[in-house]
Amino acid sequence: MRELSSSEILELWERGVGLHPLDRGLAALRVADPHASDEVADWPVGRRNQALLALHAAWFGARLQGWTACPECGEKVEFEVDARQLAAAAEAEPPHDSVTVAEHAFRLPTSRDLAQVAVARDVESAPVALLRRCRISGPENPEWTDELLEAVGESLASADPLAETRLALNCPACRREWDDALDIGRFVWAEVEARARRILWEVHALASAYGWSESETLAVGAARRAIYLEMVHA
Ligand SMILES: [Zn+2]
């Protein structure tokens, strides 16, 4: 995967600032691989996550470091995941294209499916709306019992293991154990944002050192200008 220039990082960040988190991940993937531009939204979620892991490893390094609060006592619990190891584990088990549960068959959900379900204001629940979109065959309006939803959910999870990565966490203070979903796109975006802010700081430092005006230093877009001014006047 190719390296990004400073201006490409800034462009990506500006484009992503106003986007839904799902679309920020896709925007980064489009920059990483312009040939895949039109398709990334239609990749199964696990394939997208695998590409995001590769992107994170190539642009920002393989370590995903984060923290979360213990649900029991509020203690800050840190975790670290190796993006390359996670991607390699999934490669050993390539995803299936579809799953069958009883008389129902579904294709793997994509980012586009998730986005459509996220913006839909239907009365039906999000899982049902998602499965309706991904239905290949079987009854059109089955009774969506909890058992059926659970069985389909489990089948999809094993057919596309990287679609959701669960982290096993435990609290050093109170010994509580729980698990949480790892949102790879969020990690990628946090790095894009941190890199963009660092670049802007460096530009600001240069401008101060040489007495340039901000407009001479930056060809400013609206979002970049707002953050730049916020930093200058902080
Ligand atoms: Zn705790």
Lowest mean pLDDT across 55-64, 76-85, 116-125, 180-189: 116-125
Cα-to-centroid distance, 86 and ligand 1 (Å): 26
Distances (CA, A) of 81 to 35, 85, 111, 167, 223: 29, 8, 23, 9, 31
- What is the Å distance from ligand 1's center to 77 Cα? 8
| Ligand 1 center from residue 173 Cα (angstroms) | 5
Q: Which of 187, 183, 182, 185 is nearest to 167 (CA)?
A: 182
The angle, 0 to 180 degrees and rounded to 10, between the axes of the packed helices 126-134 and 111-119 is 140
pLDDT surpassing 70 at residue 176: yes
* Tens digit of each residue's pLDDT (9 = 90 or more) over 64-99: 999 999 999 999 999 999 999 998 887 777 788 899
For residue 93 the two structure tokens come to 């088990």
pTM of the model: 0.85
User: Under a CB-based contact definition with an 8 Å cutoff, are residues 167 and 179 in contact?
Assistant: yes
Q: Given pLDDT bands bounded at 50, 70 and 90, which one contains residue 232?
A: low
Cα-to-centroid distance, 139 and ligand 1 (Å): 46
The lowest-confidence range among 117-131, 141-155, 165-179, 210-224 is 210-224
DSSP secondary structure code for residue 35 in this structure: G
The residues near 207 (Cβ < 8 Å, ≥ 6 apart) are: 213, 214, 216, 217
Q: How close is the Cα of 172 to the center of ligand 1, in Å?
A: 7
CA of 84 to the centre of ligand 1 (A): 29
CA of 79 to the centre of ligand 1 (A): 14
Q: Ligand 1 mean position to 174 CA, how many Å?
A: 4
CA–centroid distance, 126 to ligand 1, in Å, is 31
Mean pLDDT of 207-220: 64
pLDDT 10s digits, 185-205: 999 999 999 999 998 888 777
Calculate how far, in angstroms, residue 80's C-alpha sits from the geometric centre of ligand 1.
18
